[in-house]
Amino acid sequence: MIPSSPLEDPEKAAHAWARYLRIMRWMMVLTVGLVAAAVILLYRSNGMVSIHFYIATALGIGFTMLLTSALMGLVFLSSGTGHDECIIDPLEEEDSRR
């Protein structure tokens, strides 16, 4: 029988997703600040190179920061709610025999 996940409880799931969204909001604020600082520093050190350079830099830093924070947030959500413990490990028997 498959054990039930704590995220199946609507109250716990709502709390976990609210926490995840709060983390993502803060990461969005941090990302916008970091992108602005990076573009300003690049402009101060290089001058006006090309608008495409600054757009690519902003998109690259922004996408990387937001994707990383989204994936790490999901890992924390899964681990923090106990969702990771409710899986069935097919290799558990092999490990216990060794």
Position 67 scores a pLDDT of 96
pTM comes to 0.72
Q: Which residue is listed with tokens 């704590």?
A: 6
Report the distance separating Cα 4 and Cα 85, nearest Å: 10
Position 56 scores a pLDDT of 95
Task: Give domain limits for the chain.
Answer: 32-80
Q: Which portions of the chain are predicted below pLDDT 50?
A: none
In angstroms, what CA-CA distances link 87 with 78, 81, 95?
Answer: 11, 13, 16
Position 98 scores a pLDDT of 63
Report the distance separating Cα 35 and Cα 20, nearest Å: 22
